[in-house]
Homo-oligomer: A and B are copies of this chain.
Amino acid sequence: MQQITFAKRMERIKGSEIREAIKLTLKPNMISFAGGLPAPEMFPVAEMKDAACHVMDETGAMAMQYATTEGFEPLREKIAVRMKEKYDITAVPQDILITNGSQQGLDFSGRLFLDEGDVVLFESPSYMGAFNAFQAYQPQFMEVPTDEDGMIPEALEKILQTTQRIKMIYVIPDFQNPTGRTWSLERRKAFLEVVNRFHIPVIEDNPYGELRYEGKAIPSLKSMDTEGLVIFLGSFSKILAPGYRIGWICAAPEILQKYVFLKQGADLQPSTISQMEISRFMELYDLDAHVERIRALYGKRRTLMLDTMEAVFPKNIKFTRPHGGLFTWVELPPQMDARELLKKCVEKNVAYIPGGAFFPEGGKENTFRMNFSNMPEDKIVEGIRRMGEVLREELL
């Protein structure tokens, strides 16, 4: 049979290990620390049902109809207010475009900035879903050296000085995926100073910022952006629920307008009904109080996971102690391979995500990512216990 000719980009596009891992978690009895799933028992099901009933009773036909590409105005207003409250970002509703989760903001960012061969800079490691989104635009990926306080500004400056065709920098300054790390205020300031000098757009991906369990909030990059270079991606997935697929982009007007055009071509508009339900929920109920309950639970699970790992894992295994978010990042001794280890763990019905795929330039196979938000406390303890057994066997 003759072959169909696909676009060149398709050679680079493959399935996401995270999405495959979510399938794995559907196995009964599996204790999964793999996905980045919220705790389903925290979803405000009765409240969202009530919000849905209000929407259908009050404005049902409008909720089922086509609407504007930019998004539902009352929701954009609430997001603008929330951006100020939570991140000290001054925005009007017209600065907000509603997207299908912040993942769509990543796709559109690649589409807006990247020609084939252009360079994107990342923390090392970084969110593999961003790589998957950007691959469609055939860029080169480059890692900027990063430590526990964030991207290292001197290293960034050197790369900007010596590298052609850098078109954007992708960062997650708060409770990073996969490491759980948060950039210090000093690093944020130094980063922006370099970025402003080289005038490079920055994608600030912030799905976890509200999920802080200790310490004080640090100002977002966008709140300190004086040049209109920072594009902020937000999401309801982690503070409310991911099943609605509602996130947003906040950017300077001349940039946001281009994102709006991309949204039109890509899928016309966000779901009218999902937007109206979330908006109505925020009128009927207290989202802040809900986030507070999530923080209490996830904070407890984080501490339990870290304490159990501390007690159970061999001492030469290192891991981060995140102040928020969903993940901790584990580093095995250099000779170990987390993909091989995963096979043994899955035999014992416990799973995580190997870390190699989180390195834009490929790399450290002795690392893995652990999620602490999704599993109940007893399974966290039992899962870590099983992993401890495997690790001790391997390290004998």
Contact = CB atoms under 8 A, between A and B. Distances in A.
Interface of A: 1-2, 4-10, 13-16, 19, 22-23, 35, 37-38, 40-41, 43, 45-46, 48-49, 52-53, 56-57, 60-69, 99-101, 103-104, 107, 111-116, 118, 129, 132-133, 135-137, 167, 199, 201, 227, 229, 237, 241-245, 255, 258, 260-262, 264-274
Nearest to A37: B66
A7 B266 contact: no
A258 B14 CA distance: 8
A28 B9 CA distance: 46
Given A69-B19, A103-B266, A265-B13, A242 B64 contact: yes
Contacts of A57: 49
B201 A264 contact: no
14 contacts: A4-B199, A6-B258, A7-B113, A9-B111, A10-B258, A13-B265, A41-B61, A45-B60, A49-B53, A101-B267, A103-B266, A104-B267, A107-B265, A243-B273
Nearest to A8: B115
Q: How many copies of this chain does the complex contain? A: 2
Contacts of A244: 64, 271-273
Given A14-B261, A53-B53, 14 more contacts: A5-B113, A7-B111, A7-B115, A16-B265, A23-B68, A45-B60, A48-B64, A103-B266, A136-B262, A243-B271, A244-B273, A245-B268, A245-B270, A245-B272
Nearest to A45: B60
Contacts of A112: 6-7, 10
A6 B4 CA distance: 31
A265 B38 contact: no
A267 B107 contact: yes
A43 B22 contact: no
A114 B7 contact: yes
Contacts of A111: 7, 9, 136
A245 B264 contact: no
Contacts of A266: 103-104, 107, 133, 136, 266
A61 B44 CA distance: 8
Contacts of A66: 22, 35, 37, 237, 242-243
A13 B260 CA distance: 10
A16 B262 CA distance: 10
A1 B242 CA distance: 39
A129 B35 CA distance: 35
A45 B273 CA distance: 12
A272 to B, nearest CB: 4
B63 A243 contact: yes
Contact of A62 (B8, B16, B40, B133): B40
Nearest to A243: B272
A37 B272 CA distance: 14
Given A104-B267, A129-B268, A261-B14, A56 B49 contact: yes
B241 A133 contact: no
Contacts of A261: 13-15
A242 B64 CA distance: 6
Nearest to A38: B65
Given A7-B113, A261-B15, A61 B49 contact: no
A203 to B, nearest CB: 13
B53 A5 contact: no
Closest 9 CB pairs of A and B: A45-B60, A243-B272, A49-B56, A64-B241, A40-B61, A132-B265, A100-B267, A64-B243, A104-B267
Contacts of A46: 56, 60
